[in-house]
Structure 1
């Protein structure tokens, strides 16, 4: 995605990668391919043919990781710095799983040494597709929130495509059905209330619509800053939008949905100010604002910034439905 910065790599490195990827036992590759069907899938870069049940997958797109894990696959390479703190300790601590680095500093040599049959790329790694393709076929099926695209439909398509590739179609359908049910419950529980979509980072509450605005697809809510008349400089969680607590108070949102970015990215052992603490510290400004006065605040899971996949959104919509149903009683 364009919002993520990438680092340039020299032609010498690319050449080295080509050499590395050519290594290995050709007989072993043929044996691994035996009996694997070839299917045509639709990706963000066009249609492509892939072999089903690949033996060795490099999982680079964080939005796909929970599904890959749920479908019983252990990858040969992952960007370990992007793994959530909980639920992926087995991947993080396994030396047999190569560290792919990050989208800012990819470790192409490690990915090549893992000898993947298929690379699940895209999203944060989308700008590296060409270089990664020198190592193995790259499948970019990441959901998109570009104008006109449905992020939730993208999540479902991603899941079903992974089910086709991994020959786990029924399991993938169940994951999609869980999201559909959570969305239905969330839409039923909400009824046009106003909401402030917030991001907590660096001890500040800012506009978070650039990342969590995707939840609006699955609810009947109105974002108070969806038409901000130029009040905000940016809706990206990587930029200061210029939003002040007083501006939020003046908008009088009935609800707040907040992502705690620092909770996801702060290294273990380092201090940070949790979103709840930041919000409570603004009580003097927000004490008469509906969401604060009535404690109508939905906190996204602490690791949401690093998950963002179909399971994460399923949990978010379940949480929204629970919160709004509880408030209605």
Structure 2
């Protein structure tokens, strides 16, 4: 009778040790070691909130800015607001004492300060490889929260959406992605926040070179759009995405020069969801939404 009892104790000990094993997480700014699965989680980035809610992970703290429309129903009054996307409220975070804070590209400069107070993970993504970065984040978060199966399911769904959009875009002609910002227009290229349209879907562009360092894109004119005359125009309305108001992208593009282009004549101007394409561009839900828009456009026009 002694041996089975010893075995039972040993099994319980092994299970307890596994449950308490450190979780080493490699992320955009290094490695963070977690002592257990985080129970109280705060995010300074809406794309991170997108990923966590897609995985079914509860979130205790979120940015104070208005959430993207497609996420609004998931944000509840009991969630602590912890500052802006660019400047997290360090004092509020420290006072709450979360088990984990997840930051993103806009708040990545806060890592040095926050990581001295609480465990922090940076989920910033390389704009030149948005889809791969989004999938890597799902894998990482699945590991952190013990939701590996859910992560694999989401990644498979994302791959399927990409394949569907790529098939719809094949042979449909050239395209440009532009961003409207404060009455100005800029072009987005292969290292921008929507680079996947070129890099992953293989939609051919009409530009030679483009500077993707500015959030407003590489500045262009209406004459440039008439000269390059792509078959398709995909539009990111930054003002609508961040809620600053101003003239809408639709009004800005409704002019005599644009009326002469192929994309206007053939009704091939696609207004991407502004928040998904500008604010949460590497979040799981955002990508699924945007890929659906692209697939629908190529399939119906």
Same structural fold, with TM-score higher than 0.5 when normalized by the shorter chain: yes
1:160 and 2:133 aligned: no
Show the 5 A alignment for 1:250-269.
250-266=227-243
Match of 2:100 in 1: 118
Given that 1:83 and 1:306 are in contact with CA atoms closer than 8 Å, whether structure 2 keeps it comes out as: no
Q: 1:220 to 1:64 in 2, by over 3 A?
A: same
For the pair 1:247 / 2:221, whether they are aligned, the reply is no
Report the alpha carbon displacement of residue 54 of structure 1 after superposing the two structures with TM. Answer: 0.8
Structure 1, gaps ≥5 residues long = 1-32
Q: Is 1:203 matched with 2:187?
A: no
Q: Alpha-carbon deviation of 1:128? A: 1.1
Deviations 1:253-282 (CA, angstroms, capped at 9, x unpaired): 000111111112125xxx532222222x22
5 Å matches for 1:1-329? Answer: 35-81=19-65, 83-88=67-72, 91=75, 94=77, 96-145=78-127, 150-191=129-170, 193-209=173-189, 210-225=192-207, 227-228=208-209, 234-239=211-216, 241-266=218-243, 271-279=245-253, 281-282=254-255, 284-304=256-276, 305-308=278-281, 309-327=283-301
Task: Tell me the secondary structure at the aligned position of residue 125 of structure 1.
Answer: helix
- Residue 109 of structure 1: how far off its partner (Å): 0.4
Give me the CA root mean square deviation.
2.4
**Displacement, 1:68?**
0.9
In structure 2, C-alpha distance between the alignment counterparts of 1:183 and 1:52, rounded to whole Å: 34
- The aligned length equals 280
Report the alpha carbon displacement of residue 244 of structure 1 after superposing the two structures with TM: 0.8
TM, length-normalised to structure 2: 0.84
After superposition, give the CA deviation of every residue in 1:100-126 in whole Å (9 maximum; x if it has no partner).
Answer: 212443311011112111111231111
CA distances 1:132-158 after superposition (whole Å, capped 9, x unpaired) = 01221111233212xxx5221110010
Query: Is this contact kept in 2: 1:143–1:152, CA < 8 A?
Result: no
When normalised by structure 1's length, the TM-score is 0.77
Structure 1 Cα separation of the partners of residues 200 and 217 of structure 2: 27
Change (3 A) 1:109 1:170: same
The alpha-carbon deviation at position 90 of structure 1 amounts to 5.4
